[in-house]
Chains A and B, each alone.
Chain A
């Protein structure tokens, strides 16, 4: 290869390269998060909430369904009942631990489903552009026109209440915003030169989406999804509060809040506890999402 071109000589190799180990995206984000103590703390809170929901049967001091007419509405710290009891004499701590299962599921599952469905629609709309984009996005706009709470209540009510219809309702509520986020991100990435370069080397649309688009839209999607979880927890609780989500006596934070509110003048602190749980989990997801956004903000 080089015999006929000795006249031009060779190119000197650049020996200078960045020092240290490879800085992949994930590594860089992890390295940044290590010093973001606030985000780490709230990640810990979320982990704790999930673990305590998963291990509720082992952690709960009492049966969450065991009622007692004698032990109704006892205050926080009452003997054997660390967080008091509710209007039917059930242990509030146990019910909050068990209730976390439903509430966290209502928070996480709809968001995951919305990421899949809305994300797919968004990528297709953003990548195809033109009339495909217009049809998909106009349909999404119709859903956007309704306030999310109203929409969730309407869908869940139409479907007849219950956990499954609650999950479906929340999923449908989140699909439009998820779709819009991925559509925007995809449109941005699609216009960049490296996508053009991939097309210029003959890659098909499918492989461009898989190899070049998905990896680049994941960070914003991930950040947005984690902030949606907090909304979903709140909305899920709201549905249960209205009697559209989880049916009694299954413990759920929203539904607990709903039934305990009648006792607000008797045991105000105990009544506020499920609300506090909702508040802490929701806030944690929000702050973690914010921390992730900062950590993932890497200039290429």
Chain B
């Protein structure tokens, strides 16, 4: 399982990533021992709730966390380069050429004082030696690529002049300006309306297939993951608790947390019964419980779960789940969904 990560066709490989935030109070372990890899043309979804470490692990890839308060451990390789060993100058060349990023709120990612066209052209000219006219031509093509209607006119628009969906498309165009090998997407569709969200997801999937990009897509929405992901990593309290193909994870979850997430997501449940919610709330990252972090909320937890962090148990069909009772729970149930007590 873990041996695969070192293969060379990965555009990004992360091994035993640790991220610790230092603050006035106790240090918070935001990410612990996270490993994953993404190949060209592959979409990995990192699913988790707030505080699960999903955004932090992704920001660590681009070293976007405040350096004075964060300690990053482990190995991150992007496009063959050791990210943690790069100088600031080398890093900024990697950002925007090999990797780009899109965010939840495009207004904070786009510069309000430049037009969309200027921002795309500037991105191109910073990384490639092309003339101004050529960069502008490329900007126009990019707007066409992300299906912005009447692109010539939109090039001259400022971000605030666009609607939410168009702004998100413009941000994608900016991110794609230098044909990145890897696109990092941090909940880019969460703030959008349903009818617009589906348009952006379909667009991203198409662009990804056409351009052969890898995408790491962070989301809390299982439906979004089902729509776009090849592989899924489920994070809880800073660790990947389950990893596998989207189909396996979403249809046949093996980790009690993944099962709980699926059960508590409202999608056509009988309205005469309570939704099967996970009791309690996620742990404080400054004082994680010993052993499995999910044990205090888990209905299958045993004494042994609180003793040591569960290792990766291989799932049938690839991937793993960090649960010492993985095979047992499935065996008992005979079905992936736990029976209501």
Specify whether A and B are partners: yes
Q: Tell me, yes or no, whether A14 is within 8 Å of chain B by CB.
A: yes
Q: Tell me, yes or no, whether B280 is within 8 Å of chain A by CB.
A: yes
A32 touches B24 (CB 8 A): yes
A16 touches B24 (CB 8 A): no
In the complex, what's the smallest C-beta–C-beta distance from A111 to chain B, in angstroms? 31
In the complex, what's the smallest C-beta–C-beta distance from A218 to chain B, in angstroms? 23
CB neighbours (8 Å) of A14 from chain B are 280-281
CB neighbours (8 Å) of B280 from chain A are 14, 16
Q: Indicate with 1 or 0, residue by residue over A13-43, a CB within 8 angstroms of chain B CB atoms.
A: 0101000000000000000100100000000
B24 touches A12 (CB 8 A): no
CB neighbours (8 Å) of A12 from chain B are 279
CA distance A14 to B24 in the complex (A): 28
CA distance A12 to B277 in the complex (A): 12
Majority secondary structure of chain B interface residues (helix, strand, loop or mixed): loop
Q: Which of B168-184 contact A (CB under 8 A)?
A: none
In the complex, what's the smallest C-beta–C-beta distance from B340 to chain A, in angstroms? 13
CA distance A16 to B281 in the complex (A): 8
CB neighbours (8 Å) of A35 from chain B are 24
In the complex, what's the smallest C-beta–C-beta distance from A174 to chain B, in angstroms? 34
In the complex, what's the smallest C-beta–C-beta distance from A109 to chain B, in angstroms? 36
CA distance A16 to B280 in the complex (A): 8
CA distance A32 to B25 in the complex (A): 11
CB neighbours (8 Å) of A32 from chain B are 24
In the complex, what's the smallest C-beta–C-beta distance from A8 to chain B, in angstroms? 8
CB neighbours (8 Å) of B281 from chain A are 14, 16
Q: Indicate with 1 or 0, residue by residue over B276-306, a CB within 8 angstroms of chain A CB atoms.
A: 0001110000000000000000000000000
Q: Which of B1-56 contact A (CB under 8 A)?
A: 24
In the complex, what's the smallest C-beta–C-beta distance from B279 to chain A, in angstroms? 7
CB neighbours (8 Å) of B24 from chain A are 32, 35
CA distance A16 to B296 in the complex (A): 11
- Find the B residue at minimum CB distance from A8: B274
Q: Indicate with 1 or 0, residue by residue over B309-330, a CB within 8 angstroms of chain A CB atoms.
A: 0000000000000000000000
CA distance A16 to B279 in the complex (A): 11
CA distance A12 to B279 in the complex (A): 9
CB neighbours (8 Å) of B279 from chain A are 12
In the complex, what's the smallest C-beta–C-beta distance from B270 to chain A, in angstroms? 14
CA distance A35 to B24 in the complex (A): 10
In the complex, what's the smallest C-beta–C-beta distance from A87 to chain B, in angstroms? 52
Q: Indicate with 1 or 0, residue by residue over A118-147, a CB within 8 angstroms of chain B CB atoms.
A: 000000000000000000000000000000
CA distance A35 to B25 in the complex (A): 12
Q: Indicate with 1 or 0, residue by residue over B238-268, a CB within 8 angstroms of chain A CB atoms.
A: 0000000000000000000000000000000
CA distance A221 to B279 in the complex (A): 42
CA distance A35 to B279 in the complex (A): 38
Please indicate which of the listed interface residues A14, A16, A35 has the most CB atoms of chain B within 10 Å of its own CB.
A16
In the complex, what's the smallest C-beta–C-beta distance from B330 to chain A, in angstroms? 27
- Find the B residue at minimum CB distance from A15: B280
In the complex, what's the smallest C-beta–C-beta distance from B281 to chain A, in angstroms? 6
CA distance A35 to B23 in the complex (A): 13
In the complex, what's the smallest C-beta–C-beta distance from A254 to chain B, in angstroms? 41
In the complex, what's the smallest C-beta–C-beta distance from B102 to chain A, in angstroms? 26
- Find the A residue at minimum CB distance from B283: A16
In the complex, what's the smallest C-beta–C-beta distance from B257 to chain A, in angstroms? 17
CB neighbours (8 Å) of A16 from chain B are 280-281
CA distance A34 to B120 in the complex (A): 48
CA distance A35 to B281 in the complex (A): 31
In the complex, what's the smallest C-beta–C-beta distance from A95 to chain B, in angstroms? 44
- Find the B residue at minimum CB distance from A9: B274
- Find the A residue at minimum CB distance from B280: A16
- Find the B residue at minimum CB distance from A35: B24
Q: Which of A31-85 contact B (CB under 8 A)?
A: 32, 35
Q: Indicate with 1 or 0, residue by residue over B130-152, a CB within 8 angstroms of chain A CB atoms.
A: 00000000000000000000000
CA distance A7 to B154 in the complex (A): 58
In the complex, what's the smallest C-beta–C-beta distance from A273 to chain B, in angstroms? 40
In the complex, what's the smallest C-beta–C-beta distance from A40 to chain B, in angstroms? 16
In the complex, what's the smallest C-beta–C-beta distance from A27 to chain B, in angstroms? 14
- Find the B residue at minimum CB distance from A7: B272
CA distance A239 to B280 in the complex (A): 64
In the complex, what's the smallest C-beta–C-beta distance from B314 to chain A, in angstroms? 34
In the complex, what's the smallest C-beta–C-beta distance from B47 to chain A, in angstroms? 24
CA distance A272 to B101 in the complex (A): 57
In the complex, what's the smallest C-beta–C-beta distance from B254 to chain A, in angstroms? 26
CA distance A12 to B281 in the complex (A): 13
CA distance A32 to B279 in the complex (A): 34
In the complex, what's the smallest C-beta–C-beta distance from B329 to chain A, in angstroms? 23
In the complex, what's the smallest C-beta–C-beta distance from B280 to chain A, in angstroms? 6
In the complex, what's the smallest C-beta–C-beta distance from A34 to chain B, in angstroms? 11
In the complex, what's the smallest C-beta–C-beta distance from A134 to chain B, in angstroms? 25
CA distance A14 to B282 in the complex (A): 13
CA distance A14 to B280 in the complex (A): 7
- Find the A residue at minimum CB distance from B277: A12
Q: Indicate with 1 or 0, residue by residue over A77-117, a CB within 8 angstroms of chain B CB atoms.
A: 00000000000000000000000000000000000000000
In the complex, what's the smallest C-beta–C-beta distance from B201 to chain A, in angstroms? 31
CA distance A91 to B280 in the complex (A): 71
Q: Indicate with 1 or 0, residue by residue over B176-205, a CB within 8 angstroms of chain A CB atoms.
A: 000000000000000000000000000000
Can you list 7 A-B contacts with CB-CB less than 8 angstroms, sorted by A residue number? A12-B279, A14-B280, A14-B281, A16-B280, A16-B281, A32-B24, A35-B24
Q: Which 3 A-B pairs have the closest CB atoms?
A: A16-B280, A16-B281, A12-B279
